[in-house]
Amino acid sequence: MRVIIHPDSESASRRAAEFIAELVRRKPDCVLGLATGSTPLGTYRELIRMHRDDGLDFSQVTTFNLDEYVGLSPVHPQSYRQFMQQGLFEHINVDPNRTHVPDGRALDFETHCRLYEQQIAEAGGIDLQVLGLGSDGHIAFNAPGSSLGSRTRLKSLTGETIRDNARFFGSEDKVPRLAVTMGVGTILESRRCLLLAFGTHKAFAVRETVEGPVTAQITASALQMHRDVCCLFDEAAGRLLVRRDYYNEVEHAQRLLEQGELRALGIGRSEV
């Protein structure tokens, strides 16, 4: 795992957008996995700015969202489809036919989930999956206890997630109890993952995800098994990390490598 700790969520979000933009420039027909929630909003705002000011072109990009609430129509103001429309899709030149969000009103969820996985496979798999982190360590709606091999399926929301998300619905009793979500196994098949977490309320989940054991009780910890994960945290979310000095050193060295400052790293310097 590459762990990058930024002083604040604004600069971390800009960095996340730069990761995504770099992929879109290098592979214009890439497949992006997207998340909802408050965490990626700053990243999406920056992508919108890059599209507007720098001409970042999304016309050939395909997107798949992680999840959707069951029972909400795509035009419901709290549906994740609406969230994506308003937070990103309507402000960039992505082809609407290439944007995919699970359908919360499907009647046969088993078939719908299987088809969603099939669509991801037919698109060539996800190149870069953006992930937020639940305060209980979940990714997508994979609550503690979810199988680390799970696929797209129906899941019950936990009490903690219902309480966390009540702010969007006005009260807890209005939050849907079920969601369709990509599984942990589905997420682990993405070629690259970008995990974002901001704020002191995420600090415990961040520490368990990065430095705790791999366990289904913290589904994000399964990312330790993935070969290409980049974590972008702000100071508050990273405050409980024991090895933060080491992550900062690694990041410094990585920066020098990327800038070609090989001598500063002792590469090509022979000392007897």
Q: How many residues lie near ligand F6R (CB under 6 A)?
A: 14
Q: Establish if 16 lies at the interface with ligand F6R (CB under 6 A).
A: no
CB atoms near residue 41 (< 10 Å) = 16
Please calculate the CA angle 34-140-46 and round it to the nearest 5 degrees.
30
User: Do the bridges between strand 128-131 and strand 31-34 make them parallel or antiparallel, or are there none, so unpaired?
Assistant: parallel
Stretch that binds ligand F6R, among 25-33, 98-106, 113-121, 132-140 (CB under 6 A): 132-140
Closer of 54 and 172 to ligand F6R (Cβ): 172
Q: Kindly tell me the burial class for residue 96, based on how many C-beta atoms sit within 10 Å of its own C-beta (0-12, 13-18, 19 or more).
A: exposed
The residue assigned the tokens 């190149």 is 127
Residues 24 and 56: beta-carbon distance below 8 Å: yes
Query: Taking a C-beta distance cutoff of 8 angstroms, is the pair 235, 269 a contact?
Result: no
Q: Tell me whether residue 39 or residue 150 sits nearer to ligand F6R (CB atom).
A: 39
Cα dihedral angle (86, 91, 95, 96), rounded to 10 degrees?
20
Residue nearest to ligand F6R (CB): 132
Q: Measured from the CB atom, is 216 or 256 closer to ligand F6R? A: 216
Binding test (CB under 6 A) with ligand F6R, winner from 33, 102, 132, 137: 132
Does 67 bind ligand F6R (CB under 6 A)? Our answer is yes
Query: Using the rule CB under 6 A, which residue among 139, 143, 180, 218 binds ligand F6R?
Result: 139
Per-residue binding string, ligand F6R, 17-36, x by CB under 6 A, is: ------------------xx
Determine if 66 is a binding residue for ligand F6R (CB under 6 A): yes
State which residue, 30 or 139, has the beta carbon closest to ligand F6R: 139
Q: Starting at the earlier edge strand, list the strands of the sheet with 2-6.
A: 2-6, 229-234, 192-197, 128-131, 31-34, 62-65, 99-100
The Cα 146–Cα 216 span in angstroms is 6
Q: What is the footprint of ligand F6R within residues 140-199 (CB under 6 A)? A: 140-141
Q: Which residues of this chain interact with ligand F6R, rule CB under 6 A?
A: 35-39, 66-67, 132-134, 138-141
